[in-house]
Structure 1
Amino acid sequence: MDPNHDKNQVQKTRAEYGRDAWTHLSQLRRLSPLIQCITNFVSMDLTANVLLSAGASPAMLHGIDEISDFTPNVNAVYINVGTLSADWLPAMKAAAELASKFNKPWVLDPVAAGASGFRLKACLELVDLKPTVIRGNGSEIIALSNASVGHTKGVDSSHQSTDALEAAKSLAKASGGIVAISGAVDIITDGDRVVGARNGVPMLQKITATGCAVTALISAFVAIDPSHPMEATASALSVFGLAGEMGMEQAKGPASLRMHLIDSLHGLDETALVSRSNITNLS
C-alpha cells in the first residue's frame, strides 16, 4: 500500500463519494471478505450481525493458540479493547503483527483509551504496530494523541468529534494510518486531508456496541479496498449511519432500531445510498 496514495488524490464531490460508497458496498457483498474480530464480550453479537448483514464473513477468533494458523488467511483484522485483559493483549499484538507481515489491513478501536494507565499503555503499544485505521470517539483519540489518562468518561466521550481534529491529525501522522473520530459529524483524516460523514441518528448512541460494530464494518470496507483506506473508512461510516437513518424511520426506540438497523444495512440499495450518503471534504 502506498501511504501517500490517498493524500495525492483530487478532492471529490459529495456525489462522487456516494458512488464510491455504493462501489465499496457492492464489492463487499460480492467478495464477502473474511474479517477476524478480536472484540469485547459486549459487542460480539452486534458486530457479527452487522458484518453478516453487510455481506462480510466474521470470525470471532481471539485465542492466541490459533492466531498463527488463522490470521494469515483473513482479509482484515479488527481489534477492539473494550473488555481488555492481560490475557487477551498478547493475542491482539500477535494478530496485528501477522496482519502487517502478510500485508493485511487491520483496524483498532481503542475503547476508553484514557480510562486507566493499563488500558492506555496497551492501546499505545497497539498503535505502535501500525494499524491501517484507528476509529474512536473524541476523548479516545485525544487520550491516544496526548498519551494521557483522564480524557474519557468510561466508554462515552466527553468531547465532540470536532474537538479532537488536531489530535486526530497528529495521531494519523505519528501512526501512519487513517484516524476516524465518531460524533455528530464523523471525521476522517490522514493527517492532511479531512473528510466528514454526516449520516446517522442520535439514538444509535442508546444501543450498546454500535461504535464497535461500525469499526468492524470499517475493517470489512478496508479489506476490499486496502489501497484507499480513507475513502473506504468514510464509505463504511456513511453506510452504517444511513442504515441507522433508514432504521429510525421504522423504529419505536433503541431495541427496534437495533433490529431495523441490521435489516436496513442488509437491504440498502444503490439509489438510496448514492442519493442519501453525506460525505464531504472538510479541508
Structure 2
Amino acid sequence: MNISVVIPLLNEKESLKELHDWIAKVMQSNHFSYEIIFIDDGSTDGSWETIQELSAKNQNIKGIKFLKNFGKSQALHAGFEIAYGDVIITMDADLQDNPEEIPELYSLITKDDYDLVSGWKKKRYDSIFAKNLPSKLFNWAARRTSGLKLHDFNCGLKAYKNQVVKNIDVYGEMHRYIPVLAKNAGFKKIDEKIVKHQARKYGKTKFGMERFINGFLDLITIWFISKFGKRPMHLFGALGVLMFFVGFLAAGYIGVTKLIKLYDGTPAILVTQNPWFYISLTTMVIGTQLFLAGFLGEIILRTKTGNTRYKISDTLNLN
C-alpha cells in the first residue's frame, strides 16, 4: 500500500463526506493505492455514523471510535498503530488542510528520501490575536528549544515514512511536537513544505487559548525528557550535590565562626539562633530529596510497562 491518510476528528460530521471525496479524487487521479483512517475521538454529532456510511461505499476506509474524547495525540497514536502505508499522511478533518498537497508530500518522502515533512501554513486564515500571534510565539520557543528550524510545528498536515510513525510514541498532548519526537528517535531528515491553508468551512475550532499554555508546558516536558528522560539521576543528582554542597559550606561557616568566638572569648550565640543553621539544614534536606527523586526516576524508568491510554468502542475494516 502506498499511502495511509490518518485523520483524527471530533464533531466534524459536516465536513467528512466532502473531505473523503476530495482525498479519493486526488488518490485516483494520481493512481495511488491508499487507505483513509478516521479516528473518531468521542464525537457526539453523528460523525461515526457518517464514517460508517462512507465505509460502506469505499472499502479503503478504516475507522476507530473512542469511547470518549481522549485527545488528538491518542487519536494519532491509534491511527499510527494500524497504518500500513509506505507513506503516512496526517491531516485535520475540518477542510483547512488541502488534500491536493498529498502528491508533492508523497514525492518528498519517496523520491527525496525525507523521513518527515511538516506543513507550513505561511498564509493563515485564523484570527490574528486568537491563533496567529500565540502560534508564532509558540513556534519560536519550539525552535529555540528543539534546534529544529521549522516554522509551524503544530500544522496537522504532515508526511512520514512508515518507520517514523512506528518508532515514535505520541502521548499526552505531544502531537504538537511530533517532529521533535522524530528527531529524538534518531530520524535526521526532517524538513517543511509551504502548504495551502483554507478558512474553516463548517463548525468552529475545538481549540482555545489554553492550548498554547498547555503547549508551552509540554515543550518544557519534551525538553526535559529529551535531555534527561533516560538518565534522570544526571539532573536530580547534580542538583542534589549542589544543594548538599551549599548546606555543607553553610554548616562549615557556622562551625568556623563558633570556634573563632570561643578563641576570642566572645560569647557565642546558640546554633539555632544563627540564620546560617537554617540555610544549611534546608539545603541539605532539599539535596537529599533531589537525590531521592533521581533514584525514584531511575527505578520507574526501569520498571515501567505499557499502559492503555484510550478505550475503543468500535472499529471498521481493520481485518
Asked whether the two chains share a fold, i.e. TM above 0.5, the reply is: no
When normalised by structure 1's length, the TM-score is: 0.29
When normalised by structure 2's length, the TM-score is: 0.26
Larger radius of gyration: 2
